[in-house]
Structure 1
Amino acid sequence: MMSKDITSFDPKQASLPISYPLKTLKELESRSYLDSFHYPFNKASVPLIQTPTSSSNRGKILVCHDMAGGYLDDKYVQGGTNSDAYSLWHWYLIDSFVYFSHNLVTLPPVTWTNTAHRHAVKVLGTFLTEGEGGRDVCNELLSTKESAQIYAERLAELASHLGFDGWLLNMEIDLDSVQIPNLKEFVNHLTLTMHSSVPGSLVIWYDSVTDDGSLNYQNQLNKYNKSFFDICDGIFSNYSWEENYPKLSADVAGDRKYDVYMGIDLFGRGTFGGGQWNTNFALDVIKKADVSAAIFAPGWVYETKQEPNFETAQNRWWGLVEKSWGLVRKYPVTLPFYSNFDQGRGNHITVDGINISNATWCNLSSQGLQPQLMFDDSTVNSIQVLVDLTEKSYSGGANITFQGTLKAKSYFQKTIFQAELLLTKLPLRVTYSVKSDSNSLLGLVLNVTSTINENVSILSAPQEMVNHLSQKFDKIVPTTEQDGSSTEWIMHEFTIDMNGYTLTEIRAMCYRQDHELTLNSRRLGHDLVTDYSAILGHVTITPSEYKPSFPISNSWLVNGEYIDLKSSPKGDSKLLSVKISWKLKEEKDYSVFSHYNVYMENESKVKEYIGVAHVNSFYVSELEVPSATSSFKFIIQVCNVDGTNQKLDESPYYQLEV
């Protein structure tokens, strides 16, 4: 694919923060990126979640994202305005994610790193040499052993400082054989330096250059490229392999067979099985050979506008992966657990059930933990379940909606999370929000397993629901209703005490309370069926003694810099730009704060939401304000990882007088 250049800009000048690549060795060697205005905004704020499920004894799935040159809507660190932006939400089927573009040094946009880490997925950048320019790069890069080491260290430094997890090395250029020793020094030194600076990191070699320096795709691991494989963490094979190549590669790799990633190009360009809707054929062969898979360009579904729409097509395509490979990720695995099902894009933003913005937006850093809704395109189920971006949400920009019909005295269950959470900090408090009509009831079913494989199903739901279903579950826990900020949403809460058990599954339980004939009822054969509609806004799980706390407003130091106030083209208003930064006066673990909502309060005390920050800074870019205004108040609402939010009148703020 052709590269799409980012509009020329001076990275040292204040401007709307973006993620961007490095295009020259000079940029890499000089460390100029670390002096740019954009650097602090591009630091990942979400640490890589560690999961108990080991990937060392199974094949893994690597996804390599390549779309129209990269750095599209995802480059806007503070979010963009395209609610139809590309998004990925099947993280539970992915082990590692590579961001690819046709630039020398592709730094993954921090928005991808944040959401991938939230789902326990590692993120890799790409180092690419190709064409005539690639030849010149390699001549400099590999001129000496020392030069190879210096550039390797620069790459490792960027990964460490920005918080991502490794590199894909793609040397698609013919080299002289005398350059190969220094190329191997580059690969080896990068791998060792990455392992030292970012524990658990990965350096993956792309199947390109062979031992003699020629660009000769092998489409497998063999004696011609194994020397590179031996000094890094894995090989990503080219796509034109034959059916027996995965098994041959496994034999060559020996006890490192899971470090062999057989490539599949979704566009089908010379790929085994043809890619596209036949990708599962290649995955089945790879899984049978017991190696790993590398899926290239999953954005094919989005770019080619597969029918009937992006959401349905994406769910259907990833359903092929799930059927072939199975889940590779489970959550929750740690506490506190919180999900608002946000896909990182939408048509509105809400906080605690209160709508604060009707603007369209996209920001993958805001993506919540995604539900594991197995795709089902059949019409067997009476209730259709989907993540909905249109109905006003409880938090963020999405919900899970349950719509359809239910027969009299029947119920419907749907798995929303497959978990691996050891219940030790007990009892646990579970809270969830529901919006529905008065007769459409929604509860949760928790499945837990003991150390001796005793399975217990726990239904927690409103009293009128458990009265009818108590015989179908091992344990019944009625919920209590809690007061919330919004009258549209009902907050349900319950506690469980199952010490030593492991939570393995969370299901939504739909039940229709009223089965008398109504305007929404009709006969289906001998059965009475009634329309059912309910919305699940969020799920939170915490230890019962857990209480979120927010530092008081004067605990923070808040300041502004890069202040610019100029006349707008309209003439009757001004454009304000300012970088606002905040930090606590005393040291604290900032990781308990997931993000910060930023508001501007006008002279009439009306608060307007203007954006979200995932680091301790926010850049206000050319905000239109009345010409006569000389005083501006910006409120930074601190938001906790458990989904709770500081009250606005108790939040830190920045007062600007101009």
Structure 2
Amino acid sequence: MGIDVFGRNTYGGGQWKASVALDVLKKDEVSAAIFAPGWVYETKQPPNFETAQNRWWSLVENSWGVLQRYPKSLPFHSNFDQGRGYHYSVDGNQISEAPWCNISCQSFQPFLEFHGDGSVSPIDVSVNLKEASFSRGGNITFKGTLKGNADFTTRLFEAELPLGNLPIYFTYSVKSKGSSLVGLSLEFSSEKNEKNTVLLASHGDALHTMSQFISRFSKVIMPHQVTKLESSPGWVILESSILMEGYTLKGIRALCYRPLSMTSGSDDQSTEFYAVLGHITIETEKHSSFLPPSSSWLVEGQDIKWTSKSQGSKTVSLEISWKWRDGNSPYFSYIVYVQKITKMEGTGPDRVASEGARKYLGVAQVRSFYVSDHVVPPSVVSLKFVIQVCGVDGACQKLDESPSFTLEC
């Protein structure tokens, strides 16, 4: 049975009462279809689209429950990208400041909790498209205050992932201010319905962390590797592993806290908390992504069209395509850059071409990319198009090792 969110000939009136009809259908076990949920955006529901959207869908969840659970299999990767953004980042480095929209880039979305009107939460949790991102254009931002040694936990994913007799590896990125820390709280269930909760703690003093949380978790696991990226200051990569044979991963939650050494003697004092979660990757092998070398690819330019412009400049349009030399390749996504090579500098045998910075052009989910009316100044002698290959776990090939195509101008 259909429910029109605008409320046209709909039981309950639709809009913010669309769940009234859902409750009736769920009770009588009748399938439901929701029409025009864009009502939230089209009617500019207050206070803003993201908040109103989360509130409206939380009513659907309360009525119908959560039907889609992930991760269910590995590898699993989410950078919380909604397929749109105000910048684009790769491995913590912002490579574009231009707004963009590409739904094919959308990643697994978190099951963030909406606490309802009037409720007060110490930490505001949201998918934030404007703060710095680790990968592409999204992240989860935690912003608020924590009092004394209090902490805060919130749902990220509801999972259904059976585990075998081998460990699984978690990698996640965090950017935070002050003493703000983010860990991952993992919820497990056995075939005998035994419940276990494991904390993958953030970096810090192991003894203090154990003392702080061991009474609340079945296990507290410190990261076995912490990497602070020099190329993207502020981002920290945390890596942990866990073996839970015979259990099923049922949920992933974020735990926001401060180190015990920073909370002692300040039970009534509220302190600002701010952290950004950039991505989560879960794998059966550590750094298992296979990124073939550039020699494995054949890159070509087709349908090349030049157009002369004023003062010696020109534009070029073309299709760039690439394929694996050994047949069909595994699934990859691709980031496309262009690098302008200017006229030779120097004299005699010491003459060298000057290479400009690589400029981000866009992304592709297929092995083809169209460039339209790209401006080429008169000083440029060639264009080098670089195809950065990225795996399903979010790992991206180094640009110097990526396949490319050079177009003489």
TM-score (normalizing by structure 2): 0.91
User: Partner letter of residue 470 of structure 1?
Assistant: I
User: Partner letter of residue 411 of structure 1?
Assistant: D
Query: Among residues 321, 335, 338, which one is paired with 1:600 in the alignment?
Result: 338
Could you tell me which residue of structure 1 aligns to residue 227 of structure 2? 482
How large is the Cα RMSD of the aligned pairs? Answer: 1.7
Could you tell me which residue of structure 1 aligns to residue 386 of structure 2? 635
Q: For this pair of structures, how many residues does the alignment match?
A: 387
Is residue 543 of structure 1 aligned with residue 284 of structure 2? yes
Is residue 552 of structure 1 aligned with residue 293 of structure 2? yes
Query: Among residues 418, 437, 440, which one is paired with 2:177 in the alignment?
Result: 437
Query: Among residues 559, 566, 570, which one is paired with 2:307 in the alignment?
Result: 566
Contact 2:228 2:234 in 1 (8 A): no
Change (3 A) 1:422 1:350: same
Contact 1:348 1:397 in 2 (8 A): yes
Is residue 368 of structure 1 aligned with residue 116 of structure 2? no
Give distance in 2, aligned partners of 1:405 and 1:555.
51
Q: Which has the higher helix share?
A: 1
Alpha-carbon shift at residue 403 of structure 1 (Å): 0.9
Is residue 611 of structure 1 aligned with residue 352 of structure 2? no
| Relative contact order, higher structure (CA 8 A, sep 6+) | 2
Alpha-carbon shift at residue 544 of structure 1 (Å): 3.0
User: Partner letter of residue 492 of structure 1?
Assistant: L
Alpha-carbon shift at residue 515 of structure 1 (Å): 3.0
Change (3 A) 1:546 1:436: closer
Is residue 413 of structure 1 aligned with residue 141 of structure 2? no
Could you tell me which residue of structure 1 aligns to residue 44 of structure 2? 305
Larger Cα-atom Rg: 1
Query: Among residues 504, 507, 510, which one is paired with 2:256 in the alignment?
Result: 510
Give distance in 1, aligned partners of 2:189 and 2:17.
37
Give distance in 2, aligned partners of 1:387 and 1:324.
23
Alpha-carbon shift at residue 545 of structure 1 (Å): 4.9
Give distance in 1, aligned partners of 2:87 and 2:40.
25
Is residue 427 of structure 1 aligned with residue 173 of structure 2? no
Alpha-carbon shift at residue 588 of structure 1 (Å): 3.8
> Among the aligned pairs, what percent are the same residue?
51
Give distance in 2, aligned partners of 1:271 and 1:313.
21
Contact 1:426 1:544 in 2 (8 A): no
Report SS of the residue matched to 2:215.
Answer: helix
Give distance in 2, aligned partners of 1:624 and 1:298.
41
Could you tell me which residue of structure 2 aligns to residue 446 of structure 1? 186
Contact 2:165 2:243 in 1 (8 A): no
Give distance in 2, aligned partners of 1:296 and 1:572.
54
Alpha-carbon shift at residue 624 of structure 1 (Å): 1.7
Report SS of the residue matched to 1:292.
Answer: coil
Give distance in 2, aligned partners of 1:336 and 1:600.
31
Could you tell me which residue of structure 2 aligns to residue 28 of structure 1? none
Could you tell me which residue of structure 2 aligns to residue 650 of structure 1? 401
Alpha-carbon shift at residue 516 of structure 1 (Å): 6.9
Contact 1:425 1:543 in 2 (8 A): no
Report SS of the residue matched to 2:212.
Answer: helix
Structure 2: which 5+ runs fail to align? 342-354
Could you tell me which residue of structure 2 aligns to residue 3 of structure 1? none
Query: Among residues 317, 322, 327, which one is paired with 2:66 in the alignment?
Result: 327
Q: Which has the higher strand share?
A: 2
Is residue 493 of structure 1 aligned with residue 239 of structure 2? yes
Could you tell me which residue of structure 2 aligns to residue 70 of structure 1? none
Cα deviation code 1:567-621 (max 9, x no counterpart): 34x6553221110000001024432x1x100000111241000111110000011
Report SS of the residue matched to 1:579.
Answer: strand
Structure 1: which 5+ runs fail to align? 1-261, 518-522
Contact 2:149 2:264 in 1 (8 A): no
Could you tell me which residue of structure 2 aligns to residue 400 of structure 1? 140
Could you tell me which residue of structure 2 aligns to residue 14 of structure 1? none
Query: Among residues 517, 523, 530, which one is paired with 2:271 in the alignment?
Result: 530
Contact 1:460 1:466 in 2 (8 A): no
Give distance in 2, aligned partners of 1:619 and 1:637.
15
